[in-house]
Structure 1
Amino acid sequence: MSCVHLLNIRFAHNGIEQVLTPVLLRDEAETILVDCGYPDFLGLLDGAARQHGIPLETVTKVIVTHQDLDHVGSLAALKRKHPHIEIIAHEIEAPYLAGMKKSLRLEQAEAMLDSLPDEEKPNGQQFIHLLQSIEPAVVDRTVRDGERLPWCSGIDIIHTPGHTPGHLSLYIQESKTLIAGDAVVVEAGRLEIANPQFTLDLEEALRSVRRLLDYEIEHIVCYHGGKYTNDVGQGLRDLLSRYDFGS
């Protein structure tokens, strides 16, 4: 994993301590940030990057795994501060990131609001306002499933829909490392579906997990949970078996 640097960012959100794991990919020519956290995360990102000796201003590209708030909240601010950065995302996600299409997570939150218990509706409305406040960011380059990016000796784009329609994961061939985004998360030491109750298409998300078994993965890094330390293939198969989804 010589070109893969994990940024373990600890912070408080709604009074609860959380950890997110964006990733820096670096070779002789490029420094690539994968996902960029909530709004107002630039300071946290820079501090975490500098722990690896990589100042944030040296980033040349940002690859966005999908449109969710905790992955793109600081994207527009990052681009504004460092306009040389090239934003890369799956072609399905690009119009949502640019504000040309309404956020699917916002549509979901609005649709669920009336069904919430009265005591939870203020939090639901607050979440809607937060989603509405996310600043759009134009994608400079779109990618699709099976595309191979030349950096770090080869990065394969894997379309892993389900959590959102255009969710992507990244496979680093040299180190057999998967950057999973929210295709899977690590919870209590095992691989799980990220927030299955809010996953836009759970069966599609499970099919995406099944596809990951086609890759020789020795290391997997999840945005929520960080690096999974057990056997990856077995962890993926165990996840599928819990949903009775044949592997």
Structure 2
Amino acid sequence: MKIIELPIEFEFNGQKNTIYPSLIILNNELTLVDTGYANFLTLIENEIIKSGYEMKNLKNIIITHYDDDHIGSLYDFKEKYPWISIIASEIESKYICGEKKSERLVQAEEMLENLPDEEQEFGAWFIQQLKSLKHVPIDRKVQDGDMILNNKCRVVATPGHTSGHISLYFPSLKSIITGDAAVKENHELAIANPHFCLNLEKAKQSLAKLKNLKAEHYYCYHGGKFTF
């Protein structure tokens, strides 16, 4: 088993950006963690193929949490590869499948009322982005401590950024896929976008929880791989 980063480069508001979805390879079966923004399917496919793997072996997609840069292309993946199993936490599943209005949308709508005039346009655009995300049913709902992927991976509840956020711990690899529970910033692990955390105190606790696992490799969606 191994984990590789999939660096996905793109432009946003005229600035160059990179996100780092993770690909888990286990017995020739592939598991993708998070799917980038809407219309990122081809970018991610190309990176997987460039890394020497075939899309026909994609078996699972794990979603760390409901945010447009993590679930944006989930619907497209399920449409193109209908056999894949989609895994998410019990809490985030409700938002992903459309059973419940997402926390991020509620937050964005509340924030819009207090945004300065020059930010109103972006705030309205962001709300529209969230509203345009297509709902997808979840095949497996997981909770803190669940063992998945042939018992090689432990689900770690890391609330704060969102309430149902999960990270993935691989004891045999001494590795963690952090989602947005940690970001690589200035050569250290930090909280991702504290300003947008739904519960900053819980986000701090979750970051401490991940650090306490004393992994050697932290695969951060923003910032890339951090190695102690």
Shared topology, TM-score over 0.5? yes
Gaps of 5+ in 1: 232-247
CA–CA distance in structure 1, aligned partners of residues 161 and 146 of structure 2: 20
Q: Structure 1 residue 60: deviation in Å? A: 0.5
Flag the 1:166–1:82 CA change in 2: closer, same or farther, 3 A.
Answer: same
Alignment-mate amino acid for residue 82 of structure 2: P
- Report if the CA contact (8 A) 2:7-2:21 is conserved: yes
CA–CA distance in structure 1, aligned partners of residues 188 and 211 of structure 2: 16
Matches within 5 A, 1:105-116: 105-116=104-115
State the identity %. Answer: 44
Matches within 5 A, 1:59-208: 59-151=58-150, 154-208=152-206
Alignment-mate amino acid for residue 167 of structure 2: S
Q: Structure 1 residue 214: deviation in Å? A: 3.5
Alignment-mate amino acid for residue 184 of structure 1: A
CA–CA distance in structure 2, aligned partners of residues 187 and 11 of structure 1: 19
Q: Provide the TM-score with structure 2 as the length reference.
A: 0.96
- Report if the CA contact (8 A) 2:75-2:135 is conserved: yes
- Report if the CA contact (8 A) 1:25-1:32 is conserved: yes
Q: Partner residue of 2:25? A: 26
Following TM superposition, the consecutive aligned residue runs of length 4 or more in structure 1 with deviations greater than 6 angstroms are: none
Q: Structure 1 residue 18: deviation in Å? A: 0.6
- Report if the CA contact (8 A) 2:93-2:138 is conserved: yes
Q: Partner residue of 1:214? A: 212
Deviations 1:170-221 (A, max 9, x none): 0112110000000010122222111101100000011111222332301101
Equivalent pairs counted in the alignment come to 228
CA RMSD of aligned residues (A): 1.2
Q: Structure 1 residue 56: deviation in Å? A: 2.8
SS in 2 for 1:197: helix
CA–CA distance in structure 2, aligned partners of residues 130 and 59 of structure 1: 27
Q: Structure 1 residue 29: deviation in Å? A: 5.1
CA–CA distance in structure 1, aligned partners of residues 51 and 16 of structure 2: 23
- Report if the CA contact (8 A) 2:28-2:57 is conserved: no
Alignment-mate amino acid for residue 165 of structure 2: H
Q: Partner residue of 1:236? A: none
SS in 1 for 2:35: coil
CA–CA distance in structure 2, aligned partners of residues 84 and 52 of structure 1: 22
CA–CA distance in structure 1, aligned partners of residues 171 and 189 of structure 2: 21
Q: Partner residue of 2:36? A: 37
CA–CA distance in structure 2, aligned partners of residues 44 and 174 of structure 1: 30
Q: Partner residue of 1:238? A: none
Gaps of 5+ in 2: none
